[in-house]
Amino acid sequence: MDRKIQHIGVFTSGGDAPGMNACIRAVVRSALNADLMISGIGSGYQGMLEGDFVSLGTSDVSNIIQRGGTILKASRCEEFKTSAGMQKAYDNLRQKGIDALIAIGGDGTFRGANEFISKFNFPVIGIPGTIDNDMYGTDFTIGYDTAINTVVEAVDKIRDTAEAHNRLFIIEVMGKDAGFIALRSGIAVGAEAVLIPETKTHVDELIAYLQRRGENKNSSSIIIVAEGDDAGGALEIAAKVKEHYVDYDTRVSILGHMQRGGAPTCMDRVLASRLGVGAVTALLEGKTNEMIGIIHRDISFTPFEKACKHHKNINKHLLNIVETLSG
């Protein structure tokens, strides 16, 4: 890159994730520490099209590190996917004097950034912010740790009432395309089974397993289901179980968007801070078109195209742990 960066724009896009505010704070203060101008862009790519820019100072990001959501708001923008939309966004950025971007989001955010860079050679560094933890090129994404801790807290409470009434609870967690939330939280709560999109679910085997538990006088069961499981969500699986095993008092709990909210955990705050500072440093070093992440506890960089095209695999060892520890 042959031009010196003087003004960075930062935005959040796609679904919100706990820790995004901590990341915004890190980006802003790191940029100011490097004597750069820094502007926040409201509502992601939509804000670029609408010229929703606001200059940020150190006081603007005070007292936000502990807040969930995102002070910059987040949205999805179909117009940005068009050539005309990207041109409008570019013109607005140049008019504001912004000469580099830091994008906090997930797969869709980085696909848009990659296309934008190919058209305008505009410097962009991406920071993975998604509770699903499904981004290739990083061990953990911002928001994932908070989300699984939210699930664990909720399921621990559900387990109490399941034990009190000898019930089967089928609990649906987020994960339309990936089972990372379901798998790790399932181990943490001692779930009897975890159903995820990455593996084939055989409902007949699940029913046979529940029958064996009943014969062994196990009083309750917790089944964790990712919303994108091939056998359907919690409601569909519960209906199939009831058809074959009427003796079980079966209940469904869908945790839904509560998994996106709440104060970020210590891990998410530290991760967000590391990646925010690292993203600003990367731009100053001439990097672009890459996602910053953490691999084996160290900062790493993955090209957007690779981060978007490659699929992050489920840890098979964790799957084996679920099977080994189920009673």
CA distances from 122 to 127, 227, 306 (A): 16, 37, 18
Longest dimension (CA), the chain: 72
Residues 198 and 290 in one domain: no
CATH number for 180? 3.40.50.460
pLDDT tens per residue across span 285-305: 999 999 999 999 999 999 999
pLDDT band at residue 164 under the 50/70/90 scheme? confident
Tell me whether residue 246 is in a domain. yes
pLDDT tens per residue across span 104-134: 999 999 999 999 999 999 999 999 999 999 9
Query: What average pLDDT does range 45-67 have in this prediction?
Result: 96
Model pTM score = 0.93
Looking at every residue in the chain, the average pLDDT score rounds to: 92
Tell me whether residue 314 is in a domain. no
Per-residue pLDDT, 77: 85
Residues 26 and 65 in one domain: yes
Per-residue pLDDT, 219: 61
pLDDT tens per residue across span 58-104: 999 999 999 999 999 988 888 999 999 999 999 999 999 999 999 99
Residues 302 and 168 in one domain: no
Tell me whether residue 323 is in a domain. no
Cα–Cα distance for residue pair 74/72, rounded to 1 Å: 7
132 is a catalytic site residue: yes
Residues in the chain, total: 327
Tell me whether residue 1 is in a domain. no
Q: For 56-128, where are the E strands, in sequence order?
A: 100-105, 124-128
Residues 156 and 108 in one domain: no
- Is the model more confident about 254 or about 168? 254
Residues 122 and 182 in one domain: no
Per-residue pLDDT, 229: 94
Judged against a pLDDT cut of 90, whether residue 245 lies above it is answered with no
Computed on alpha carbons and rounded to an integer, the radius of gyration of the chain in Å comes to 22
Domain boundary, last residue among 227, 245, 260: 260
Residues 35 and 162 in one domain: no
Tell me whether residue 326 is in a domain. no
Residues 226 and 286 in one domain: no
Tell me whether residue 319 is in a domain. no
Candidates 99, 132, 134, 268; catalytic one = 132
Is residue 189 classed as helix, strand or coil in its secondary structure?
helix
CA distances from 216 to 34, 129, 137, 212, 220 (A): 65, 44, 44, 6, 11
Per-residue pLDDT, 208: 85
Residues 133 and 190 in one domain: no
Residues 158 and 80 in one domain: no
Per-residue pLDDT, 317: 93
Residues 42 and 177 in one domain: no
Tell me whether residue 315 is in a domain. no
pLDDT band at residue 186 under the 50/70/90 scheme? very high
Tell me whether residue 58 is in a domain. yes
Per-residue pLDDT, 103: 97
Judged against a pLDDT cut of 70, whether residue 2 lies above it is answered with no
Residues 193 and 119 in one domain: no
pLDDT tens per residue across span 192-237: 999 999 999 888 888 888 878 766 656 678 999 999 999 889 999 9
The residues near 316 (Cβ < 8 Å, ≥ 6 apart) are none
Domain range for 210 is: 145-260
Residues 236 and 283 in one domain: no
Judged against a pLDDT cut of 80, whether residue 165 lies above it is answered with no
Per-residue pLDDT, 14: 87
How many distinct structural domains can be found in the chain?
A: 2
pLDDT tens per residue across span 16-34: 999 999 999 999 999 999 9
CATH number for 293? 3.40.50.450
pLDDT band at residue 1 under the 50/70/90 scheme? very low
Per-residue pLDDT, 216: 64
